[in-house]
Amino acid sequence: MYNNSQMSWDFESDIIPVFNVSCVTGEGLEDLTNFIKNLSPYNVNSADSDSESCLFQIDETFRVAGLNEPVLGGLLVKGAIALGTRLLVGPLPDGEFSPVKVVSLHRNKAPCCLVRASQSASLTLAPSTNRSPPLPHLRPGMVLISVWDQPHATLFFSGNCVNSISCDCNIFWFSNNCPCRKCKTNMYYKRNNGREGQRFTDKRYSVCAI
């Protein structure tokens, strides 16, 4: 039987507490509620240890009275986010990502401790550490992504070739700090059939052909 003088419970213990509670008189209910009240926090949903990387799409930003930072609303595409999770937000105008941490989480206008993939949520951010840069300007279209993913921004759009032979094409720009370090020093487009099209030299960008 559970001893009412025990103020905390050891989750590593093999002992299972048992409570005699009367549904008629309520006898023993106080012991049960005291036990639950004195339970120490048990973290079973550490998002930082999730094997799948995190990707949160920012669909809207809005202000709430009493908060200095904007509230971000969007969809968690994959992974999990918990309070205190450290992430990267971006891309910024220079193509970089800024380190941040989650300081509040809400689902269905109610506070929550964890958001999982395919769930919509709203959250607020703060700089990851005291030495981190201040929060950048946040806008719809940005993403929150796991720190270990080491993201790199890429400009992309689709269009139609205007020539005698009509074809669809995709145009990519990769910044010069592409991590593969095997980039070609020009920008190019590829036709949808996979064949490489005409090259356009541009010293500002390089394209990863891997």
Who wins on pLDDT, 130 or 92?
A: 92
pLDDT score at 207: 38
pLDDT (tens digit per residue) in 37-92: 877 665 544 444 455 689 999 999 999 888 888 999 999 999 999 999 999 999 98
- CATH code of the domain covering residue 97: 2.40.30.10
Tokens representing residue 40 in the block: 């120490």
**What is the extent of the structural domain holding 85?**
46-154
Report the distance separating Cα 21 and Cα 185, nearest Å: 75
Q: Is residue 57 part of a domain?
A: yes
CA angle in degrees (0–180, nearest 5) for 28-29-33: 125
Who wins on pLDDT, 136 or 189?
A: 136
Question: What Cα–Cα distance (Å) separates residue 171 from each residue in 66, 124, 157?
Answer: 44, 34, 6
Q: Is residue 123 part of a domain?
A: yes
Classify burial at 25, counting beta carbons within 10 Å of its beta carbon; exposed 0-12, middle 13-18, buried 19 or more.
exposed
Residue 150 near residue 180 (C-beta atoms within 8 A):
no
Q: Is residue 25 part of a domain?
A: no
Q: How many domains does the chain have?
A: 1
Q: Is residue 116 part of a domain?
A: yes
Supply the pTM of this predicted model: 0.56
Q: Is residue 204 part of a domain?
A: no
pLDDT score at 99: 93
